[in-house]
Amino acid sequence: MNFIKAESYEALSCAAAEIIAAQIAEKKNAVLGLATGSSPLGTYACLSKMYAEERADFSEVTSVNLDEYVGLSAENEQSYRYFMNKNLFDHINIRPENTFVPNGCAEELAREAAEYDALIARLGGIDLQLLGIGLDGHIGFNEPAEFFTKETHVTELDASTIEANARFFARREDVPTKAITMGMGAIMGAKKILLIANGKKKREILEKAMYGKITPRVPASILQLHPNVTVIYSEI
């Protein structure tokens, strides 16, 4: 595992963007696994800037996002599809038809989940997966559990995750309690993983995940078994 300490959120974001840009420079048609949350916002801003400066070309890139809230449509400002369009896809030259986010409004969510895994398999897996980490150690929306789930699946969000996400919603009742998320199979199948953890509040869980026991109680701890993980963190 490769640890990079950044002096600020900006430095963390640009370091992550440089790694993503290097990936697509090396392989123009790379498959990027993308994440939401506040952590990658700066990374996406840096990537948008790099595109504007002609330092990154996304024309042949495909993206697959980790997760989506159940019940939120693409038009809902709190949906992860909306987030991705607004914060990244609208600012770069990725083809909209090459961007994938699980559909949280699918009539049959189990089928949507199976099709998402089939899509990732058809794409040949993920070249570089960007991850944030939840305060309870979740990655994507793989919440602490008794076992790791391999497949894309529907999950109940933990009380702490609902609490953490409430800041984005006008009313408490609007915060979704379920999500559809990539499982550990697709995440661990990525050729490279890039995890970003910003700020003091992530320090304790990051240490637990990277140096503690490998357990589904701390979902990100499974990353200790992956051969190519870069962690960029800042403590400010």
C-beta of 66 vs 92, nearer to ligand GLP:
66
Rounded-to-integer distance, Cα 139 and Cα 109, Å: 20
Q: How far is the CB of 139 from ligand GLP (least distance, A)?
A: 7
Q: How far is the CB of 226 from ligand GLP (least distance, A)?
A: 16
158 is catalytic: no
Say which of 112, 138, 153, 158 is annotated catalytic. Answer: 138
C-beta of 28 vs 217, nearer to ligand GLP:
217
Rounded-to-integer distance, Cα 141 and Cα 164, Å: 13
Q: Which residues bind ligand GLP (CB under 6 A)?
A: 35-39, 66-67, 132-134, 140-141, 161
138 is catalytic: yes
DSSP for 92-161, written as a single string: S---GGGEE---TT-SSHHHHHHHHHHHHHHTTS-SEEEE---TTS-BTTB-S-SS---S-EEEEPPHHH
* Of residues 53, 43, 68, the one with CA closest to residue 153: 68
Say which of 68, 127, 136, 158 is annotated catalytic. Answer: 136
67 is catalytic: yes
C-beta of 23 vs 39, nearer to ligand GLP:
39
* Active site residues per annotation: 67, 136, 138, 143
